[in-house]
Amino acid sequence: MRIFIVLFFLLSLNTYGQEDSIWSLEKCIDYAVQNSLTVKQANLSVIQATLSKKQAIWAQAPNLNSSYSYGFNFGRSVDPTSYSFINQITNSSSISLNMNQPVFQGLRIRNSIKQSKVDLEASKKDVEQAKNDVALSIAQAYLSILLAQESRSVLVEQAKITKIQYDQTQKLISAGVLADNSRYDLEAQMARDEENIVTAQNSVDLAYVNLKVLMNIDLAKVIQIIPITELIVPEVLELLTLDEIYEEALNNQPNVAASYLRERSAELAVKIAKGALWPSISIYGSVNSNFSSAARLFNVVSTPDTLSGFQTGTTTPVEVYENKFSTVQGDVIPYFTQLGGNIYANVGINLSIPIFNGFRNRIAIQQADLAIKSAKLATVQIETTLKSNIKRSLTDVKAAEKRLAAASKTVVSTRLSVQNTRKRYDLGVVNSFELTSVQNTLVAVESNLLQAKYDYLFKLKILDYYRGNVIQIK
């Protein structure tokens, strides 16, 4: 029973490993998006923009600060409890709680909050753009693997045909129908087929390396993309016009939206800079207390005193007793007693009117105006580049479609030519060199057809990219 459990466990691990190594285009894109360094960097910008938004919102809250000090005084100083001058070594302490609440700052806080929200949205659009760029690159690498694998399959099939012809030629040589040198061309072709297969396999391996690099996955990890048994090439339909695709791209391309948002952010920056020209109003308040070792308790002391005098109305001498009262300095007033008794507070309104500050505010406004112009130029540059790229993509699609049609016709005619040459070879009309030459031509035109097919597909994917469609291969 234990043996069956172990076998089942090992088979499960093997199945899991196979499933984990098989990757579809969607799986490759998802993994690349999650692990792309470019996307991660864009996400960090989103986090930074989120923190800036929080900071702008909390700028509305009051500032509350507390301070505490304890030190020693030497020489002539002021007693903070009695405000009298003393000349002795004392230790003192103070504690305070201060509050400042902004009331009006020329709408700078409100506009800063709006700007931080716009900047956050722009950062999110940058993340979307990074993801789209990664998806397009992965799709190109994925198609490159499929092309390399199909090219290798064509060469493998060609090698099989060459081997069959070689075996048939050997039989004819053994039967005395053909001369012994008839096999040399086929032997050379077999060697070329083997070399071509090795080169094609190397192309497959390099295509996988390129895909792994784009996915930011361990190059030692074994992955295998899902093979497509029959790649469907879309029928040639009437393509949309340049203006139609351009309008779709303006509404779907994240980098265009991000550029528009940064224009809005620059406009808000001007309002923030102009807000510095306005007066600012704030409410302030504080609670304070202090301690000094010079503050001491005083005790009243009564001292009897004898005075000599005369009895009233007579000249008879008598002694008169009288109590004299005096104050004697006592112990230092306790620390917390002083703090509780020396509490004082203040509250008020502060009005700050900017008059002259070296033209800093004026220059800041001019710099903000220049930032708007720069943002608008950046938007125009993005729009111009986008339209140019779409125009190039449309031209590339049309050229790729024509190349695919021509390559398809060439393959059909070349296959007929190969079939005819094989029949003539079987009849002894042509030699093996002529046959291998025609077959090599067929391999070349079939490879060209594969390249044309995948090139056409990728050009269509680029148009899907600009139109905002999901990139997928069916």
Mean pLDDT of 19-33: 85
Which of 62-66, 270-274, 288-292, 433-437 shows the lowest mean pLDDT across its residues?
433-437
Instruction: Report the pLDDT value the prediction gives residue 300, as an integer from 0 to 100.
Output: 56
Burial class (CB in 10 A: 0-12, 13-18, 19+), 294: buried
Residues 131-167 have pLDDT tens digits of: 999 998 998 899 889 889 888 888 888 888 888 878 8
Return left, alpha or beta for 313; rule: phi > 0 is left, psi -120 to 50 is alpha, else beta.
left
Structure tokens at 362: 């004026």
Round to whole Å and give the CA distance between 341 and 328. 22
Which of 4-18, 380-394, 417-431 shows the lowest mean pLDDT across its residues?
4-18
Looking at mean pLDDT, say which of 63-77, 94-108, 148-162 comes out highest: 94-108
Instruction: Report the pLDDT value the prediction gives residue 17, as an integer from 0 to 100.
Output: 47
| Nearest residue to 466 (alpha-carbon basis) of 214, 136, 131, 28 | 136
Residues 307-316 have pLDDT tens digits of: 555 556 666 6
- Identify the sign of the CA torsion 230, 235, 236, 239: negative
Instruction: Report the pLDDT value the prediction gives residue 168, as an integer from 0 to 100.
Output: 80
- Answer yes or no: is pLDDT of 258 > 50: yes
Q: Is 450 helix (H, G, I), strand (E, B) or coil?
A: helix
H/E run at residue 397: helix 360-426
Write the DSSP assignment of 167-236 as a string of letters.
Answer: HHHHHHHHTTSS-TTHHHHHHHHHHHHHHHHHHHHHHHHHHHHHHHHHHT--TTS--EEPP-SSPPPPP-
Torsion of CA 429, 431, 434, 435, to 10 degrees: 90
- Answer yes or no: is pLDDT of 441 > 70: yes
CATH of region 23-68+90-295+333-467: 1.20.1600.10
* List of long-range contacts for 241-249, beta carbons under 8 Å, 24+ apart: 242/387, 242/390, 242/391, 242/394, 245/390, 245/394, 245/463, 245/466, 245/467, 246/386, 246/387, 246/390, 248/466, 248/467, 248/468, 249/386, 249/390, 249/466, 249/467, 249/468
Round to whole Å and give the CA distance between 317 and 174. 175
Instruction: Report the pLDDT value the prediction gives residue 81, as an integer from 0 to 100.
Output: 61
Structure tokens at 342: 């020396």
pLDDT band at 80 (very low <50, low <70, confident <90, very high): low
Round to whole Å and give the CA distance between 241 and 467. 12
Round to whole Å and give the CA distance between 449 and 411. 7
Structure tokens at 313: 């109305």
pLDDT band at 241 (very low <50, low <70, confident <90, very high): confident
Q: Is 45 helix (H, G, I), strand (E, B) or coil?
A: helix
Mean pLDDT of 458-465: 86
**Percent of the chain at pLDDT exceeding 90:** 41
Write the DSSP assignment of 280-306 as a string of letters.
Answer: EEEEEEEEEEEEETT-EEEEEEEEEEE
Round to whole Å and give the CA distance between 199 and 191. 12
Which of 94-98, 368-372, 397-401 shows the lowest mean pLDDT across its residues?
397-401
Residues 174-213 have pLDDT tens digits of: 877 667 777 887 788 889 889 999 999 999 999 999 999 9
- Answer yes or no: is pLDDT of 86 > 90: no
Amino acid found at 191 = A
Instruction: Report the pLDDT value the prediction gives residue 202, as an integer from 0 to 100.
Output: 96
Round to whole Å and give the CA distance between 183 and 125. 65
Round to whole Å and give the CA distance between 52 and 44. 12
pLDDT band at 62 (very low <50, low <70, confident <90, very high): very high
Mean pLDDT of the chain, nearest integer? 84
Return left, alpha or beta for 280; rule: phi > 0 is left, psi -120 to 50 is alpha, else beta.
beta
Mean pLDDT of 220-228: 86
Residue corresponding to tokens 């505490």: 68
pLDDT band at 51 (very low <50, low <70, confident <90, very high): very high
| Nearest residue to 464 (alpha-carbon basis) of 248, 278, 262 | 248
Structure tokens at 460: 């269509």
H/E run at residue 320: strand 317-332
Residues 321-349 have pLDDT tens digits of: 555 555 555 678 888 888 888 899 999 99
- Answer yes or no: is pLDDT of 317 > 90: no
